[in-house]
């Protein structure tokens, strides 16, 4: 039981740590406006095209599904899935906060001037890749039996 609680708290700690760091970097945009070490950009799009009421409906639906999947993974004691889905949930929530409060998401990392993103986007990407890897790993184990 102690090991289970320790794993859950560790997962929560890292998800919250990434969330707080992302919120801090995004708030620098409003405090400093132009720090030299970050390139801030306003991102008005969700998945490139979705805006308005459909955005809020789709985002709310995705967040509800993520909470359901996290609870199910927790009940099955699949803590790696809980962590992966937690990263997706926290990253998505951080971007959702930006879009709700400011009307846009604040991106601050530029990749060779091709596109810009933020830590929340990285959390979503890494969480998605971890979750997909875990699903593929499970499928490979089942097919080898």
Active site residues: 107, 121
Name the 3-class secondary structure at 76: coil
Unique residue bearing structure tokens 């929560």 = 12
Report d(CA 43, CA 19) in Å as an integer: 18
For 41-61, b where at least 16 C-beta lie within 10 A, e where not — what string?
A: bebeebeeeeeeeebeeebee
């Amino acid at each position: 039981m102690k090991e289970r609680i320790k794993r859950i708290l560790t997962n929560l700690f890292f998800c919250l740590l990434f969330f707080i760091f992302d919120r801090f970097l995004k708030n620098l945009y409003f405090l400093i406006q132009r720090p030299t070490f970050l390139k801030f950009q306003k991102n008005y799009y969700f998945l490139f095209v979705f805006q308005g009421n459909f955005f809020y409906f789709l985002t709310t639906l995705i967040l509800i599904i993520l909470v359901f999947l996290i609870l199910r993974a927790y009940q099955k004691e699949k803590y790696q899935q809980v962590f992966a889905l937690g990263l997706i949930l926290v990253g998505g929530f951080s971007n959702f906060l930006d879009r709700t409060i400011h009307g846009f998401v604040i991106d601050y990392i530029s990749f060779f001037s091709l596109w810009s993103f933020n830590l929340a986007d990285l959390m979503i990407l890494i969480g998605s890749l971890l979750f997909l890897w875990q699903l593929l790993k499970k499928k490979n184990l089942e097919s080898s039996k």
